[in-house]
Amino acid sequence: MAQIAVMSVDGSVKKIDRDSEEGLQALRKLASLLLKDSLHQEFKGIRLGESVADEDGFHVDSDKDDQQVSADELSALQDALLAKAKDAKVEFVEADLDDALAEVKDDPYSSELIKEAAKDGKVAMYQVGDVKAVADGDIMVYGDAIKHLKLLSVAGAYWKGMSSNPMLQRVYGTVFFSKDALDEDMKKRQEAREHDHRVIGNQLDLFFVDPKVGAGLPYWMPKGATIRRTIERYIIDREVADGYEHVYTPVLMNLDAYKTSGHWEHYRDDMFPPMDMGDGEMLEIRPMNCPSHIQIYKHHIRSYRDLPMRIAELGMMHRYEKSGALSGLQRVREMTLNDGHTFVAVDQIRDEFAKILNLIMDVYKDFDITDYSFRLSLRDPKNKEKYYGNDEMWDESQKLLKAAMDDLNLDYYEAEGEAAFYGPKLDIQTKTALGNDETMSTIQLDFMQPDRFGLSYVGKDGKEHMPVMIHRGIVGTMERFVAYLTEIYKGAFPTWLAPEQVHIIPVSDEKHGDYAKQLADKMKAAQIRVVVDDRNEKMGYKIREAQTQKVPYTLVVGDDEVKDNAVSVRKYGEEAQNSMSQDAFMNEILADIASYSRKN
């Protein structure tokens, strides 16, 4: 196996296998440093921020007084980088801190990185060409292997990922040791782009996020809001039919509740700072709904006859996410969770667990989710800080969860260290459009919070007993679920979910417009989402537009359709057009919607 020379942060050089993960990482580390040098040479006065090499490629952040680096300049920048790579060699420099800072005195970003890395007045650095960078990982010594490289894109990125910091320009790239590997990566990236909910969301005008008015805070456009509203109505109806009582609870709560629940102790880094109301009251914008549902339970004295007590809510929550981690609808700061909590007696746990799991499976069927697995998430008994410290509770709850899965005869795998801080859980792992694992649904057992909040019910014996709390999420947050569905369907939503289900095009608005509008009114009365395209555009353009917007049904109406009280139907993705009566079409689309667009 071929080997390459790599340099470590102490300046020592060693040989490693070229085709190992470490070898690829060292290659990308050198590529990122060469990109810094190229930016420095091509754009005078540019200030250089962080350079990162990871499993996805590499990137460099920079800042200029005039216009930032544009996508149009990437090709020339790539040529400059590849030219430098041929003769590039990394040198190790251990510089005095003052000298290192003097070299970058006009660059606040490089200065900050150097100060952070300095030890005892010295800083270890790698140098390629005219640029030095902090030594922060193994780097390939010689650049002659850098031949199969692609600069991919530019984007804005906050310095250090904090929205309070300046917005820099980030140049992304990737590099491999072989052309075949690069070509395969480009193919995967193209496929990812075709599935990317951010790209599709922009094309179909579903949502947007504007960092200027709030990073991680999505705005739902009418079409995106229609998809979300359809899902929410579906979920509420399914849960009510399954015995859940839906509630609304405030998004603010006294901080003491989160201290009692344990979230403040275990989850503080993911919570926004408390708000001092000026009178001694500290309010927290909620990161979880469970303490709110506990208050619903506590509001009345409960009897064993009330159990299981099922509470559900589409509950809005807020979690602190660093700006660099935010991504479309996948990672946001405001989210609405399809949340539910059941309060049960211990002897009801297995039956309730099975009931919840059956509901999840039914929902998956309606959304055509078929690729999933079961992960039993258990605590790491050695981690005393992360988990609630009650060994007896953990042993009992984990035993109950395993028994419930065995009763259902379902295959599962165990994941130590993945439990919630208050109890074990079953996570249902789905495959994304690109084959990655993602937790879609969860069922969690919780003995801790009922104990801490002093929950009780009066048993058959007239004595007080503590209930067990089961947390469950069917489809997670609305934001992440819509992102998942958008990518799975590539924006071609099934008819029951499509924001626009029918697109009617009159051949002539003057001659056929009234018929088209009457037809649309009839469909709207049947709660079909329909649009009449009466724009002064060519027929072919209108049909292509409906296909581009991935509308399930396009209807063309002209003289024959008006005369025969009919429609000419073209389904999304098909070339053929079929003529049928109004009634026949109405029966077909209503059956399509009622069956959740599943073919019989």
pLDDT digits (tens, 9 = 90+) for 159-196: 887 767 888 899 999 999 999 999 999 999 898 888 99
For the segment 336-340, the average pLDDT, to the nearest whole number, is 96
pLDDT at res. 377: 86
Strand partners, 421: none
pLDDT at res. 403: 84
Q: Which CATH number fits domain 202-487: 3.30.930.10, 3.40.50.300, 3.40.140.10, 3.40.50.720?
A: 3.30.930.10
For the domain made up of 3-177, the CATH class stated in words is: alpha beta
For the segment 69-89, the average pLDDT, to the nearest whole number, is 91
Instruction: For residue range 111-157, list pLDDT tens digits in order.
Output: 999 999 999 999 999 999 888 999 998 999 999 999 999 999 998 88
For the segment 77-101, the average pLDDT, to the nearest whole number, is 93
For the segment 72-77, the average pLDDT, to the nearest whole number, is 92
Structure tokens given for 591:
């059956």
How many CA atoms does the CB half-sphere of 366 hold within 13 Å?
18
Confirm or deny that 503 is annotated as ligand binding. Answer: no
Tell me the whole-structure pTM to 2 decimals.
Answer: 0.82
pLDDT exceeds 50 at position 600? no
For the segment 55-63, the average pLDDT, to the nearest whole number, is 93
Confirm or deny that 59 is annotated as ligand binding. Answer: no
pLDDT exceeds 90 at position 212? no
Kindly list the distances between the CA atom of residue 115 and the CA atoms of 50, 108, 124, 131, 503, in Å, as whole numbers in the listed order: 13, 10, 11, 17, 61
The pairing of beta strand 252-254 with beta strand 282-285:
antiparallel
The hierarchical CATH code for the domain 495-595 is 3.40.50.800
pLDDT at res. 338: 95
- Averaged pLDDT of the chain: 91
> CA-to-CA distance for 225 and 218, rounded, in angstroms?
11
Question: Domain spans of the chain?
Answer: 3-177, 202-487, 495-595
Kindly list the distances between the CA atom of residue 439 and the CA atoms of 153, 316, 373, 426, in Å, as whole numbers in the listed order: 29, 19, 10, 10
Write the DSSP symbol of residue 242.
T
pLDDT at res. 416: 84
pLDDT at res. 548: 93
For the segment 277-294, the average pLDDT, to the nearest whole number, is 93
Structure tokens given for 167:
């917005």
For the segment 364-389, the average pLDDT, to the nearest whole number, is 83
pLDDT exceeds 90 at position 280? no
Secondary structure (3-state) at 194: helix
Say if residues 108 and 101 touch (Cβ distance below 8 Å): no
Confirm or deny that 512 is annotated as ligand binding. Answer: no
Instruction: For residue range 550-583, list pLDDT tens digits in order.
Output: 999 999 999 999 999 999 999 998 888 999 999 9
Write the DSSP symbol of residue 372.
E
Say if residues 290 and 341 touch (Cβ distance below 8 Å): yes
